[in-house]
Structure 1
Amino acid sequence: MDTEAVRSFVRAAELGQLRHAADELGVTQQAVSKRIATLERELDVRLFTRTARGVELTLDGQAFLPHARNIITGVDRAITAIRPGSRALRIDVLGLRSAQAVVLHDYWRSHPETDLDVVTLKVNDPRMAVAAVQAGDIDASFRSVTDPATLPRDVRMIHAFDSPLELLVGPRHPLASARTLTPSQLRRHRIWVPGIAPRSEWAEFYDQLATDFDLRIDAAGPNFGNEVLLDILADSADVATLVGSRDRYIWPTNHDLRRIPIVNPTLAYPLSLIFPRANPHPGLRAIINHFGSLTPLPETVWRPSWGPNTLAARNRSTSWGPPP
């Protein structure tokens, strides 16, 4: 069924004049008349009778009108749901307590008029997030493809911001009283990061971190969630973990956990944003500009090989066009 013919029928029924319906729809009166005639042939009924004042609905037309309105409403809603700028900006984050979600929330609190839809794709492989961007399932994803040369040509990746690492320990841990720590002070201590997924960007990050600073990063065991991890840290005298400084964690007061910044160098997890190269959602521009307002890191920073030091500097530009 031709939805434009249905739309012409609805407007003609509501206005009582084919000419008025044509003017509103931006077509000729003859086009409206042909559309309605085609619809009548398809339905095998008469929808209108002509009068001196215009057109009036037949009994069949009266019965069809509420259903026709529903058809048009459904079509309009479907188009709105997929048209950038007419729907919420859908952004994928790794978790609702992650640094990405925290930064988005800070932005939204300053710009509450922004229509945001923050989602979490249950995928570890960043290529699946890229595919979701290509398919239009999401408008952008906070994921990193560690080899930018493998990105499809219709997808763009920029460095969004860095998440400095902190050591999270319980009160009995030997490093618990430190105000800051250097990477060398972490050596020989067990850093437990359960559930590191193979082929994920964070698996490559921790591999490089452990190699460059001779750290003991233990990924053994299933990941039962943050609550279980925090309970274990609170009772342990030898287990620590790494968290991002902007990540949001909540624990009972009696856990007495401590978040200790790592300095000289600061260990930075680089967060990237992936979005379509052509016609990105217009709401993305302001959010990308917001990244530039975040507190910069110290000069002495370690990042993995695929961090912004190795990504082309032009990728940090907020221009929507292809990089030069």
Structure 2
Amino acid sequence: MDTEAVRSFVRAAELGQLRHAADELGVTQQAVSKRVAALERELGVRLFTRTARGVELTLDGQAFLPHARNVVAGVERAVTAIRPGARALRIDVLGLRSAQAVVLHDYWRSRPGTELDVVTLRVNDPREAVAAVRAGELDASFRSVTDPAVLPREVRMIHAFDSPLELLVGPRHPLAGARTLTPERLRRHRIWVPGIAPHSEWAEFYDELATEFDLRIDAAGPNFGNEVLLDILADSADVATLVGSRDRYLWPAQHDLRRIPVAGPTLAYPLSLLLPRTDPHPGLPPVIDHFASLPPLPGPVWRPSWAPARRPATS
């Protein structure tokens, strides 16, 4: 069914004249008449009777009108849902307990009424996120492309904020009593990070981190999720993992896990934002300004070689 024909019928029914409907829709009266006639042929009924004053609904037209209004309203909602500026800002995050989601939630709480659609693509290769931004399926994505030269011209990558790492251990681990740790003290300890996917940005991050500080980062074994990882840490005297300081992890009180900051230097995971180079969603600039307003990490900071430069606030 031609939705423009249905729209023409609805406006003609509401205004009582084909000419007035044509003026409102920006087409000729003849075009509206042809659309209505085609709709009548498709339905096999007469929707209007013509009078000297314009058009009046037949009984079939009266029965069809409320449903036709629903069709028009549904089409308008569908178009609004995908039109930048008319729909909520759609941002992809790695997970709903990740630092990206936590900072976005802080932004949303500080601006009540902000239309925000937080989604998770659930892909490991950042090129898939680039393609989604390029196609307009996303307004932005919290992904990093470690070689910016491969970005298409339509997409750019900017620094969002840095996520400092912490060591997460159980109470029996030899480092469990430390208040802070240097990267040097992590050497020779097994740091288990399951789920490091090939070709992902975090695979390159951990490769560079391990090389720089001579760390033993182990990704062996299947990834059964955070709950299983936390159970293993709670029972282990030699396994630790690295987590972002803003990442949300929940565990039973009896696990007695410890989150220990790493400093001297601070190990920072750089979180980047992929967005269109032109005509970004109007809701993006204040989000980017919010990221830029976050306090910088104190003391010396290590970031991987591919991390984009920190951006100043634009307002």
Aligned equivalents of 2:281, 2:160: Cα separation in 1: 16
Structure 2 residue aligned with 1:39: 36
Q: CA deviation at 1:139?
A: 1.4
Listed one character per residue, the Cα deviations across residues 199-242 of structure 1 (whole Å, up to 9, x for unaligned) are: 10000000000000000001111111111111111111111110
**Which shifted more, 12-21 or 200-209?**
12-21
| Equivalent residue, structure 1, for 2:197 | 197
Letter in 2 for 1:271: L
Does structure 1 conserve the Cα–Cα contact (< 8 Å) formed by 2:190 and 2:238? yes
The superposition leaves residues 64-83 of structure 1 with CA deviations (integer Å, 9 ceiling, x where unpaired) of 43343233122211111111
Partner of 2:171, secondary structure, is: coil
1:100 Cα deviation (Å)? 0.3
Residue 238 of structure 2: aligned partner: 238
The alpha-carbon deviation at position 42 of structure 1 amounts to 5.4
TM-fit CA distance, 1:46:
4.2
Deviations 1:48-106 (A, max 9, x none): 22323332123443344334323312221111111112212111111111100000111
Offset at residue 197 of structure 1 (A): 0.4
- 2:216 is the counterpart of 1:219: no
The equivalent of 2:53 in structure 1 is 53
C-alpha separation between the residues in 2 aligned to 1:27 and 1:296?
Answer: 54
Whether contact under 8 Å (1:91, 1:139) holds in the other structure is yes
Q: Which residue in 1 is equivalent to 2:274? A: 274
Paired residues, what number? 311
Return closer, same or farther for 1:317/1:58 CA change in 2, 3 Å cut-off. farther
8 Å CA contact 1:5, 1:36 repeated in 2: no
Q: What's 2:255 paired with?
A: 255
**AA matched with 1:72:** V
Q: Corresponding residue for 1:120?
A: 120
> 1:317 Cα deviation (Å)?
6.4
Distance 1:41 1:235, change over 3 A: closer
Residue matched to 1:69 = 69
- Report how far residue 172 of structure 1 moved: 1.1
Change (3 A) 1:246 1:41: closer
Alignment of 1:1-324 (within 5 A): 2-23=2-23, 25=24, 27=26, 31-41=28-38, 43-44=40-41, 46-309=46-309, 316=311
Cα distance in 1 between the residues matched to 2:108 and 2:279? 22
| Cα distance in 1, alignment partners of residues 26 and 82 from structure 2 | 25
Matched residues in 1 for 2:73 and 2:260: separation?
55
Cα distance in 2, alignment partners of residues 47 and 66 from structure 1: 13
Q: Report the aligned-residue RMSD.
A: 1.9
Q: Which amino acid aligns with 2:31?
A: K
Pairwise CA distance, 1:122: 1.4
Residues in 2 aligned to 1:129 and 1:272: alpha-carbon distance in whole angstroms: 12
Deviation at 1:119, TM superposition (A): 1.1
2:91 touches 2:118 (CA, 8 Å); kept in 1? yes
**2: CA distance between counterparts of 1:286 and 1:112?**
13
Is 96-105 or 128-137 further displaced after alignment?
128-137
Q: Which has the larger displacement, 68-77 or 285-294?
A: 68-77
What is the SS of the residue equivalent to 1:75? helix
Q: Return the alpha-carbon distance in structure 2 between the equivalents of residues 225 and 38 of structure 1.
A: 56
Residue 33 of structure 1: how far off its partner (Å): 4.3
CA contact (8 A) 2:8 2:36 kept: no
AA aligned to 1:300 is P
Distance 1:53 1:194 in 2: 75
> What does the per-residue CA deviation read over 1:147-202, in whole Å, with 9 as the maximum and x for residues that have no partner?
00000111111010000001111111111111111111110011110121011000
Deviates more, 1:127-136 or 1:220-229: 127-136
Give the share of equivalent positions with the same residue, in percent.
79
Instruction: Say whether the 8 Å CA contact 2:196–2:202 is kept in structure 1.
Output: yes
Corresponding residue for residue 322 of structure 1:
none
Taking structure 1 as the reference length, what is the TM-score of the superposition?
0.90
Normalised TM-score (structure 2): 0.92
- CA distance in 2 between counterparts of 1:301 and 1:120 reads 29
Q: Which runs of 5+ in 2 are unaligned?
A: none
State the alpha-carbon separation in 2 of the partners of residues 69 and 26 from structure 1.
15
CA distance in 2, matches of 1:41, 1:108: 48
- CA shift, 1:307, in A, is 0.8
Q: 1:192 to 1:172 in 2, by over 3 A?
A: same
Native 8 Å contact 2:292 2:312 kept in 1? no
